[in-house]
């Protein structure tokens, strides 16, 4: 089969890790007889430097023409002082919206080989965990009305959170359907003791839960969820969250896997064109040093094969290769024990590619 893949390398370590994932995809193409055609487009700070805006129209059009999109990361100190609508991060929100990517799947599981990198108490880590965070991605406070105005104490700024029943039901359905293919448990996160949007969220989720009698559904307040994630992560199967809560909880979930450098994500719409990216950022502090962990992006490419192209054997091949390097004790700097030798980005990519 032939697939067109748009590459949004972005900033910082973005180009390095996207190139790693491309090498792995090329190995998959050879082994399974596919053709992947890669076309790069500008995004983020790189786009600001080249053409003056973080998300050029050509990028949006290129992504819309492609079968799928692979993204590295955007942002960096160089562009931090630009006004909000010209920041690299704005491009990420813009492309998510333009492609209608309302679902963000962020799996967080503890690899048995990495139990020692897990910062949790040994007795907790021993239970392992395998969580799928289902984050709403095109609504909520990220996209609500915002601005500056004169208030009681002079200048003030505001952001607003708005969720429609439609948006909540749409993402909740994804969570229930996902749970059916896993351990049939959904924990819906909200702040219903304070926020009106959360009360509508909870009500809508309960109504939908009635349609899924075979899935166990419960609610959890977000502050408690932050605590439960480190206390007993094994209790979670599918975690259903709003945009902002999902952003925060997914970083927390990544850290207990040992490194944020391991976690992939899939952003999906109601068609098969998705966008796949590591959940970590552009890590400007290590950019260009060749030491970034490429695994999150490589696993994102595996998610692309699985979700956009329905190539599950090919996705399995990547995921098994990653498990195999970890089982063999190979480590990048972020997951190596203090003082132990570690592989560069390119060496880790070689090791994974060789196992495909």
Would you please indicate which residues are annotated as catalytic (active-site) residues?
Answer: 142, 191, 223, 247, 251
The end-to-end CA distance of the chain, in Å, is: 18
CA distance 123 to 83: 47
Considering the complex, state which of residue 136 and residue 247 has its C-beta at the smaller distance from Mg ion: 247
Binding partner at 92 among ligand IPM, Mg ion, none, C-beta below 5 to 8 Å by kind: ligand IPM
DSSP 332: B
Sign of CA dihedral 344, 346, 352, 355: negative
Which of 29, 32, 89, 255 touches ligand IPM (CB under 6 A)?
A: 89
Least gap, CB of 280 to Mg ion (angstroms): 8
Residues 6 or more apart whose CB falls under 8 angstroms from that of 334 comprise 259, 260, 261, 293
Compare residues 89 and 252 and give the one whose CB is closer to ligand IPM.
89
The correct pick among 6, 92, 95, 317 for binding ligand IPM (CB under 6 A) is 92
Closest CB 62 distance from ligand IPM, rounded Å: 21
- 234 vs 110: CA distance, rounded Å: 10
Name the site residues for Mg ion (rule: CB under 5 A).
Answer: 247
Minimum distance from CB of 294 to ligand IPM (Å)?
18
Burial group, residue 338, by CB count within 10 angstroms (0-12, 13-18, 19+): exposed
Residue 89 near which of ligand IPM, Mg ion, none (CB within 5-8 Å, type-dependent): ligand IPM
Site string for ligand IPM, 192-211 (x = CB under 6 A): --------------------
Q: Are the CB atoms for 109 and 326 separated by under 8 Å?
A: no
- Counts for the chain of helices (H) and strands (E), in that order: 12, 12
CB of 27 to Mg ion, least distance (A): 29
16 or 314: whose CB is closer to ligand IPM?
16
Closest CA to 296 of 262, 257, 267: 262
Task: From the list Mg ion, ligand IPM, none, pick the one residue 169 interacts with, judged by a Cβ distance below 5 to 8 Å according to partner type.
Answer: none
Of residues 274-333, which lie at the interface with ligand IPM (CB under 6 A)?
A: 279
CA distance 38 to 4: 6
Strand order across the 35-40 sheet: 35-40, 2-10, 68-73, 275-278, 264-268, 103-109, 130-136, 238-241, 185-190, 216-221
18 near ligand IPM, rule: CB under 6 A: no
Q: Which is nearer to ligand IPM, 40 or 94 (by Cβ)?
A: 94
Is residue 136 near ligand IPM by the rule CB under 6 A? no
Beta bridge partners of 154: 151
Calculated CA dihedral for residues 344, 346, 351, 353, nearest 10 degrees:
160
Residue 135 Cβ, how far from ligand IPM at the closest point, in Å?
A: 8
Please give the residues from 163 up to 192 whose contact with ligand IPM meets the rule CB under 6 A: none
Among 16, 136, 237, 247, binds ligand IPM (CB under 6 A): 247
Nearer to Mg ion, 43 or 325 (CB): 43
CB of 18 to ligand IPM, least distance (A): 15
- Residue numbers at the binding site for ligand IPM (CB under 6 A): 89, 92, 247, 279
């Amino acid at each position: 089969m032939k697939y067109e893949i748009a590459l949004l390398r972005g900033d910082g370590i973005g180009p390095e890790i996207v190139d790693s994932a491309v090498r792995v995809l090329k190995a998959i193409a050879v082994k399974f007889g596919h053709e992947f055609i890669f076309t790069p487009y500008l995004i983020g700070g790189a786009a600001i430097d080249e053409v003056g805006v973080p998300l050029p129209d050509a990028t949006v059009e290129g992504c819309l023409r492609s079968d799928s999109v692979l993204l590295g990361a955007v942002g960096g100190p160089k562009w931090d002082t630009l006004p909000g609508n010209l920041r690299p991060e704005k491009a990420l929100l813009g492309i998510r919206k333009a492609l209608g990517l309302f679902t963000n799947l962020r799996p967080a599981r503890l690899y048995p080989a990495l139990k020692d990198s897990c910062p949790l108490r040994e007795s907790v880590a021993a239970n392992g965990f395998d969580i799928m965070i289902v984050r709403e991605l095109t609504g909520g406070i990220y996209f609500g009305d915002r601005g500056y105005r004169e208030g009681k104490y002079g200048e003030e700024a505001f952001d607003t959170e708005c969720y429609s029943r439609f948006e909540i039901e749409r993402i909740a359905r994804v969570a229930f359907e996902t749970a059916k293919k896993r351990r049939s448990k959904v924990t819906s996160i909200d702040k219903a003791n304070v926020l009106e949007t959360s009360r509508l969220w909870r009500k809508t989720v309960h109504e939908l839960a009635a349609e899924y009698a075979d899935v166990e559904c419960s609610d959890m307040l977000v502050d408690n969820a932050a605590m439960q994630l480190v206390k007993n992560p094994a209790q979670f199967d599918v975690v259903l969250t709003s945009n902002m809560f999902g952003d925060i909880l997914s970083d927390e979930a990544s850290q207990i896997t040992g490194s944020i450098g391991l976690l992939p994500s899939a952003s999906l719409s109601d068609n098969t064109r998705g966008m796949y990216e590591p959940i970590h950022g552009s890590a400007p502090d290590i950019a260009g040093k060749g030491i970034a962990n490429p695994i999150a992006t490589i696993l994102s490419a595996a998610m692309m094969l699985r979700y956009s192209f329905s190539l599950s054997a090919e996705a399995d091949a990547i995921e098994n290769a990653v498990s195999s390097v970890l089982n063999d004790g190979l480590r990048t700097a972020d997951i190596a024990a203090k003082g132990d030798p570690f592989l560069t980005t390119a060496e880790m990519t070689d090791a994974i590619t060789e196992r495909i």
